[in-house]
Chain A
């Protein structure tokens, strides 16, 4: 057997770049796999930023540590307990120590780290992702991608400038049922698409807590970051931040980023969006949550398709066409006629990007330098749907949206809400 030097990830990338100029062939990083054990030089060196419930228990435990194509190098969180526990998890499962950071910039400044996985509160997504890309990293960033539309525009711009491979954590795109539903719709199997209904859940009112001193392990000022200063109370912070508009967009962005993303995929408007939006949200009378508790929002697309986003109803996405419907959720797909689901697609049909695993797709794309299934612009545009809904509910009127200029038409007050100032020293 002829021995050949093992290619490193970086030499591979160099060669792949040259090859891509000659022929745009996708070469998966898995070509380096040998007995399911990639060479160390072939592994993607990853830093995990945000190691709370989602970052540690989900991404780190299920997707980063067990993945043989990943070498964990560092963890980062503004909560000392979170970051130390994450480092302990890596040590206990791999026997290797990783470096521990509080400040994401220290992690991103490291030259040996190829990519970062970001699972922090929403109001931090854009700043961290942008700095990571400016530092030459590829990025996996949790959904909802942004707190504002302006942040998303900037993220897309930076991703393109730096050539970053950017996967948005809307992992339903890597679920075969959601792809099947969208392919059925895109191929007219339910007739001409008329409407889409997304059901994403409501929230309770929460309860007031007295402000108190932040726990010693938490750097509260850093946690707040670009958000307006607020005194600490536990129910503003971990997980519960989702229901405060300074940090997130409520259920509308939390689950809307999943199901409205699928709606966009089925309608075929990735990279674009609706032209009209109106909605009614019911806010809890006494707080503390200041995002709509329940809501119904209606979007109109240029082609006439309408998207209705509801808080209440069975969680999932329903596409209704002139000849039938398809309903899809996690673990279930149904149709007005079971025969629709038996459709065998041919080469002449519209086939959508196929990914069977969201993290694997990200790693494949890091090797090939192709765009992942939920590239930054897709994530941004899907999140824009959610922001449009929130702005329309907040303003209580129908708004006209220009998806090309990414601005409202004829409503100066709505246009102000495309972006949001940040607390110094942070800025986009």
Chain B
């Protein structure tokens, strides 16, 4: 049976069928080790994959200075990240955080963190949303945080909602709509006011987000807060679809 290191070599093969076979082999092992009752197998395999994901080679740059480069090319590391998305736990988060710092593989590292339900992955996503660079990447991390909860998440999203990038602001405000925290409404309203004037679509997105927040709150039992948002939307200049939905929701809320 091939080792994970050998599988990595095959994943990087220029022969497409060979790389495909390696992907299948990795997927089969990940599935088997992820079965209930196989926790020890799972931990071992995940650690092996994470080790290869983060492995570095020492080389020299053009001027002969020592430097460290990933042992595996981005295509291989992205396949390893896919595997970690299905099997990685808290122990694999540091390796993935290393991937977040690498522009060539960070999107798939974010995927893997997104699917990793551990508190460590939530913390990693929170930090990435606040401190990483790149509009698209940060909008992605904000979107990932919409599926997480906790005060740290809400605060991080609120911070992103005041970002200089309109796209990050909008994504963060949208992510807040999935948090059962009524204070998100003021953030969404502010984003709508500041960004919506110049962009009808931004205004629409914030209106949609506000409606989503009200539903999130209603589901969480915060009916008064939800009612307040619905009433405001039914009365103000929200677009027709949102207004209609808000009125319907108000009727259903009683």
User: Do the two chains belong together in a single complex?
Assistant: yes
**How far in angstroms is the closest Cβ of chain B from A226?**
10
CA distance A396 to B31 in the complex (A): 7
CA distance A422 to B115 in the complex (A): 11
**Given the known A-B contacts A161-B211, A286-B20, A427-B146, are A109 and B200 also in contact in the complex, defined by CB atoms under 8 Å?**
yes
Interface-forming stretch among A22-30, A65-73, A357-365, A406-414? A406-414
Contact of B245 among A161, A411, A422 (CB under 8 A): A161
**How far in angstroms is the closest Cβ of chain A from B143?**
3
Asked if B139 contacts A397 (CB within 8 A), the reply is no
Asked if A425 contacts B171 (CB within 8 A), the reply is yes
Asked if A163 contacts B248 (CB within 8 A), the reply is yes
Q: Which residue among A286, A290, A427 has the maximum number of chain B CB atoms within 10 Å of its CB?
A: A427
Contact digits for B150-190, partner A, Cβ 8 Å, 1 yes 0 no: 00000000000000000100010010000000000000000
- Provide a sorted-by-A list of 9 A–B residue pairs whose CB atoms are within 8 angstroms: A135-B241, A161-B215, A228-B108, A286-B17, A290-B23, A396-B31, A422-B140, A424-B107, A425-B171
Contact of B21 among A109, A208, A285, A416 (CB under 8 A): A285
Kindly report which residue of chain A lies nearest to residue B116, judged by CB atoms.
Answer: A416
Number of interface residues of A (CB under 8 A): 36
Contact digits for A92-128, partner B, Cβ 8 Å, 1 yes 0 no: 0000000000000100010100000000000000000
Asked if B117 contacts A424 (CB within 8 A), the reply is no
**How far in angstroms is the closest Cβ of chain A from B57?**
25
**Given the known A-B contacts A208-B16, A228-B108, are A421 and B114 also in contact in the complex, defined by CB atoms under 8 Å?**
yes
Contact digits for A157-177, partner B, Cβ 8 Å, 1 yes 0 no: 100011100000000000000
Residues of A within 8 A of B111 (CB): 228, 421
Asked if A425 contacts B28 (CB within 8 A), the reply is no
Residues of B within 8 A of A421 (CB): 85, 110-111, 114-115, 144
Contact of B204 among A109, A229, A288 (CB under 8 A): A109
Asked if A394 contacts B27 (CB within 8 A), the reply is yes
CA distance A417 to B245 in the complex (A): 31
**How far in angstroms is the closest Cβ of chain A from B173?**
13
User: Is chain A's interface secondary structure helix, strand, loop, or mixed overall?
Assistant: loop
**Given the known A-B contacts A105-B201, A109-B201, are A425 and B139 also in contact in the complex, defined by CB atoms under 8 Å?**
yes
The residues in B between 25 and 69 inclusive whose CB is less than 8 angstroms from any CB of A are 27-28, 31-32, 34-36
Residues of B within 8 A of A424 (CB): 107, 136-137, 139-140, 143
Kindly report which residue of chain B lies nearest to residue A109, judged by CB atoms.
Answer: B201
Residues of B within 8 A of A157 (CB): 215
The yes or no answer to B249 lying at the interface (CB within 8 A) is yes
CA distance A2 to B220 in the complex (A): 56
**How far in angstroms is the closest Cβ of chain A from B18?**
9
The yes or no answer to B86 lying at the interface (CB within 8 A) is yes
CA distance A417 to B35 in the complex (A): 13
**Given the known A-B contacts A394-B31, A425-B136, A425-B140, are A287 and B244 also in contact in the complex, defined by CB atoms under 8 Å?**
no
Residues of B within 8 A of A111 (CB): 240
Asked if A410 contacts B16 (CB within 8 A), the reply is no
Contact digits for A276-292, partner B, Cβ 8 Å, 1 yes 0 no: 00000001011110100
Residue ranges of A at the interface with B (Cβ–Cβ < 8 Å): 105, 109, 111, 134-136, 157, 161-163, 208, 228-229, 283, 285-288, 290, 394-397, 410-413, 416-417, 421-427
**How far in angstroms is the closest Cβ of chain B from A398?**
10
Contact of A397 among B35, B171, B248 (CB under 8 A): B35
CA distance A157 to B17 in the complex (A): 41
Kindly report which residue of chain A lies nearest to residue B87, judged by CB atoms.
Answer: A413
- A208-B16, A228-B108, A425-B167 given; name 8 further pairs at CB < 8 Å: A163-B244, A283-B24, A285-B21, A286-B21, A394-B31, A423-B107, A425-B136, A425-B143
The yes or no answer to B95 lying at the interface (CB within 8 A) is no
Asked if B35 contacts A395 (CB within 8 A), the reply is yes
Contact of A228 among B32, B107, B144 (CB under 8 A): B107
Kindly report which residue of chain B lies nearest to residue A163, judged by CB atoms.
Answer: B248
**Given the known A-B contacts A136-B241, A136-B244, are A411 and B36 also in contact in the complex, defined by CB atoms under 8 Å?**
yes
Residues of B within 8 A of A109 (CB): 200-201, 204
